[in-house]
């Protein structure tokens, strides 16, 4: 399984993290959530009252905090200055901050370097918005996972409800999602788009297991012959 690198891209709420995490478990390799890294920086900015889209302040923030990830029993944990913030970065405010943060070249350069270092050391499944086009353009297996905006909003709202959020409405989630889609696809550096060699997977109407089976079938059918 050495050098097996699977890149999964797609818009907000498409189920990338859920699919990538379970796929990694099926293959018994690591899962790396790149979005969690940007969310962590977004959380740090919000905590310090820094406007996430203002480059100079965010650049200074990056010199003052230490970002790290660790893996425990196959699960990724994101740390800022040694604090595990994995469970604190899934709120709508942090999501919007992460979108603004990810558009800043200084942030992307630092985190992409870290992501490439990790990918070079071990086989993994990695998801984000520009993995197959920018972070790991030579990844042998690439997928672009999407779904209708209505379905993506429904899934995201279900996640928020499971976390105890009873105030956010589906209309609010959909509006935030459309804004983020626009920001991610129109940003100047490494915008959200499907890599030319990525397989498009529309998960609308599909179960998690059906999506994973589809991806595994593609990997098995296109796996390079050893030697």
Q: What is the pLDDT of residues 142-177, one digit of tens each?
A: 999 999 989 999 988 888 899 888 888 989 999 988
Query: Tokens standing for 6?
Result: 């699977």
Indicate the CATH number for domain 5-211.
Answer: 3.40.50.300
pLDDT reported for residue 1: 42
pLDDT tens digits for 63-97? 999 988 888 776 889 999 999 999 999 888 999 99
Cα dihedral: 170, 162, 94, 119 (round 10): -120
Alpha-carbon distance 86 to 169, whole Å? 24
Confidence check: pLDDT of 197 > 70: yes
Distance of CA 91 to the CA centre of its chain: 15
pLDDT tens digits for 33-53? 888 899 999 999 999 999 999
Query: Mean pLDDT lowest for which of 111-120, 159-168, 178-187, 211-220?
Result: 178-187
pLDDT reported for residue 225: 45
The domain ranges of the chain are: 5-211
- H and E: helices and strands count for the chain: 8, 8
pTM, entire model? 0.76
Quote the DSSP letter at residue 131: I
Task: Return the residue matching tokens 């940003």.
Answer: 187
pLDDT reported for residue 227: 33
Check the CA dihedral 41-20-28-124 and report its sign. negative
pLDDT reported for residue 3: 72
């Amino acid at each position: 399984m050495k050098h097996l690198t699977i890149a999964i891209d797609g818009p907000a709420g498409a189920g990338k993290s859920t699919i990538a995490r379970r796929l990694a478990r099926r293959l018994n390799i690591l899962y790396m959530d790149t979005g969690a890294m940007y969310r962590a920086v977004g959380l740090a900015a919000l905590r310090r009252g820094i406007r996430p889209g203002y480059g100079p302040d965010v650049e200074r923030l990056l010199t003052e905090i230490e970002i790290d990830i660790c893996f425990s029993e196959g699960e990724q944990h994101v740390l800022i200055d040694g604090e595990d913030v994995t469970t604190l970065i899934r709120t709508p405010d942090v999501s919007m901050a992460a979108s603004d943060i990810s558009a800043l070249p200084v942030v992307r350069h630092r985190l992409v370097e870290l992501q490439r270092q990790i990918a070079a050391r071990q086989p993994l499944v990695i998801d984000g918005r520009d993995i197959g086009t920018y972070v790991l353009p030579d990844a042998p297996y690439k997928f672009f996972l999407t779904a209708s905006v209505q379905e993506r909003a429904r899934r995201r709202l279900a996640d928020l409800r499971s976390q105890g959020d009873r105030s956010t409405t589906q209309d609010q989630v959909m509006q935030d999602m459309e804004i983020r889609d626009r920001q991610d696809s129109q940003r100047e550096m490494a915008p959200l788009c499907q890599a030319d060699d990525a397989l498009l997977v529309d998960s609308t109407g599909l179960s998690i297991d059906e999506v994973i089976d589809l991806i595994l079938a593609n990997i098995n059918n296109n796996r390079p012959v050893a030697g």
